[in-house]
Structure 1
Amino acid sequence: MSLEVQAKYDRGYQDEGQGLVEVGNKPTSGAPKYGDDDDLLPVVLERYLEKAGVMQKLRPYLDVTGQVKNEFARCLMAEFFGTLLFQMFGGSAPAKDTTAPAANGFALVAVIYAFANISGAHINPAVTFALICTGHMKWWKGLLYMIAQILGAIFGALIYTGLIPTLHLGAGTGSPGCFGPAAGVRNGDVFGWETVMTFLLVMTVYAAAVAKPGHGNTAPLAIGLSLYAAAISGGQYTGASLNPARTIGPAVVFTCNVGISFLYIAAELFGAALAAGLSIFLYGRAPASVRTTI
């Protein structure tokens, strides 16, 4: 199935009048057929897990093909691993290097392409919060998305802690992926920059991937470029987080800039709310069928 980025932020349901399509491959029915050499590893792994008692615990959550049965559980897994990878490759980029904005922009493009068909690839609590505001997602599902994203960012930071020499838990300010204002930048400046940069990112998400007609399979490129542009312009002042999960993850792992992290998060959610309000004005709220099902 081709990547349906057109609907990746409208998880799961179709309204014919609005052009929203279901994304994600449906589990196939029937018992798995093994026998080819390529299938040997899954068989051995499954038998090992069976002996260890793991499969017995997992089986209620799997269908006959071994895929995750609960569609929403698959979404949460996608958000977790997507944010983990985004944190790992974006957060480990040298902050003072001019290539850091590109690393973050391209990493975001990659994870959106990788997970859009499963969860919509929000990869950002600010994006999820905006979709709740516009009615594209129920609040409780959005909250679980945010938790998965934050946990993903924490684990992503933990992984590169073990991969970067001399880096350790609680390393403090200056650790890879930590966000804090540059010298001389006031708190009001931080709030302003993070607000407008997050606003740009979320508006790009809506224009490219949520509102119709959208930009199809090029939407991830537009979203990644919006992050790249924001990081080039405002990154020199705030580091350009634009993402509460990316703010929280390193702060938890390295205990860096914990006090000002709340200012970053407030600005990012405020920018997302502003973008949601303008999107409602320009494009309208989510159609009724989406509001009652997602």
Structure 2
Amino acid sequence: MPINRIAVGTPGEASQPDAIRAALAEFFSMLIFVFAGEGSGMAFNKLTDNASTTPSGLVAASLAHAFALFVAVSVGANISGGHVNPAVTFGAFIGGNITLLRGILYWIAQLLGSVVACLLLKFATGGWETAGFSLSSGVSVWNALVFEIVMTFGLVYTVYATAVDPKKGNVGIVAPIAIGLIVGANILAGGAFDGASMNPAVSFGPAVVSWSWTHHWVYWAGPLIGAAIAALVYDNIFIGNRTHEPLPNNDF
């Protein structure tokens, strides 16, 4: 059971040079991802004079997030594991692949990276607000919660299959591509309903900068629940009790 491998970590872990470097890697990866992802939405609004989202706009958002996440995961993979998502970090913790204290350090870095990216976008665009996540007309919080749970399950399941599983072999080489593609595909599926966050930090940055918190809890509860389910399912069924070595710095 992966639950037996859960570890809190030591108080001095957060001050270790490798932990600090890993947190900085998460900060910069998140900044890169959010700046490109949110920026693409702002560019669409500028080009269309804030018109309603169109199918082509949804495709553009999907591609922007898929490409940006592919890069963000790739550049952080060798330093922090390339989580770029508090839900992924939580899933790694549930599976015993990262300690609680290091996970909290990652969370802080990820949230700060998202906020800084949104602030930079607001400054660079002359005061335009980053688009906060919200529910579409006719979509209830429970509809959105299910969307976020299922989409994040798919994301974290993909992370486990391509980056965590000790049997991944050559599949690990394409992990960043697979992770970017599942996020892009999920945006095509859920973007028109609740924005398809799958990432509490991605929702947090715009909420802070625009100070809009309506239904914000959905974008935390859904991804964390989906990540936990994916970690437990994959680790119990496909990894099981086999010994698996985490990547350097206790990540994946």
4+ residue runs over 4 A deviation:
288-291
Paired residue total: 217
Using the alignment, how far apart are the partners of 1:262 and 1:220 within structure 2?
28
1:182 equivalent to 2:129? Answer no
Structure 2 gaps of 5+ residues are: 1-15, 45-52
Note if 1:237 corresponds to 2:184.
no
Q: Which of 258, 279, 282 is the aligned partner of 2:234?
A: 279
Structure 1 residues 99 and 285: CA distance shift in structure 2, 3 A: farther
Greater CA deviation, 134-143 or 92-101?
Answer: 92-101
1:250 to 192, 206, 216: 206
Q: Is the contact made by 1:129 and 1:272 (CA closer than 8 Å) also made in structure 2?
A: yes
1:261, CA displacement in angstroms?
Answer: 0.7
Matched residues in 2 for 1:261 and 1:145: separation?
A: 20
The residue type equivalent to 1:146 in the other structure is W
Given the alignment of the two structures, is residue 123 of structure 1 paired with residue 88 of structure 2, yes or no? no
The alignment status of 1:197 with 2:154, answered yes or no, reads no
Q: Does 1:216 align with 2:172?
A: yes
Give the partner amino acid of 2:88: V
The C-alpha deviation readout for 1:12-66, integer Å capped at 9, x for no partner, is xxxxxxxxxxxxxxxxxxxxxxxxxxxxxxxxxxxxxxxxxxxxxxxxxxxxxxx
Q: TM-score, normalised by structure 2?
A: 0.81
Residue 104 of structure 2 is aligned with which of 133, 143, 156?
143
**Which amino acid in 1 is paired with 2:144?**
V
On the 8 A contact 1:180/1:238 being kept in 2, the answer is yes
Gaps of 5+ in 1: 1-68, 168-174
Question: Distance in 2 between the 1:80 and 1:285 partners?
Answer: 33
Partners of 1:187 and 1:216 in 2: how far apart?
Answer: 36
Distance 1:280 1:77, change over 3 A: same
Point out the structure with the larger helix share: 2
> Which residue does 1:104 correspond to in 2?
65
Structure number with bigger Rg: 1
* Residue deviations 1:129-181 (CA, integer Å, cap 9, x gap): 001001001111111111110010000111111111341xxxxxxx4341111
Aligned residues: CA RMSD: 1.9
Counterparts in 2 of 1:286 and 1:201: CA distance versus 1, 3 Å: farther
Q: Distance in 2 between matches of 1:132 and 1:155?
A: 25
Is the counterpart of residue 259 in structure 1 residue 218 in structure 2? no
Contact kept, 8 Å, 1:130 with 1:272, in 2: the verdict is yes
Contact 2:110–2:201 (CA<8 Å) still a contact in 1? Answer: yes
- State how far apart, in whole Å, the 1-side matches of 2:123 and 2:79 are: 29
* Cα deviations by residue, 1:103-126 (Å, 9 ceiling, x for unpaired): 001100011111111111100000
Amino acid at match of 2:163: A
User: Could you say which structure has the greater relative contact order, defined with CA pairs below 8 angstroms and 6 or more residues apart?
Assistant: 2
Give the 3 Å change call, closer, same or farther, for CA 202–82 of structure 1 in structure 2. Answer: same
**Alignment partner of 1:264: what SS?**
helix
Deviation at 1:259, TM superposition (A): 2.9
State, as a whole percentage, how many aligned pairs show the same letter: 37
